[in-house]
Amino acid sequence: MAGLPRRIIKETQCLLAEPVPGIKAEPDVSNARYFHVVIAGPQICTVLLSTQALLSAPNPDDPLADDVAKQRSSGSPTKPKP
């Protein structure tokens, strides 16, 4: 870890000494500025069910894209008419 700022060295040592539950992070052996990280997450089934719930009940008051929420709120058609 030579050549790294002291803060980075200290944070890396702290991370290795006190790992965060659900996260495995270790510095790359050839470049300590890079980390190999594994984050425990939900099962695929849980992700798909959550996505389905979001799609079936969209919340225009908390949109990802403002223009889409405005279109939905204004009652504009979602597809152009043929």
For residue 45, indicate whether it is catalytic: yes
pLDDT at 80: 58
pLDDT at 60: 73
pLDDT at 73: 73
Average per-residue pLDDT in the chain? 85
Buried b (16+ CB within 10 A) or exposed e, 61-79: eeeeeeeebeeeeeeeeee
pLDDT at 61: 78
* pLDDT < 50 stretches in the chain: none
pLDDT at 81: 56
Catalytic residue among 45, 57, 64, 65: 45
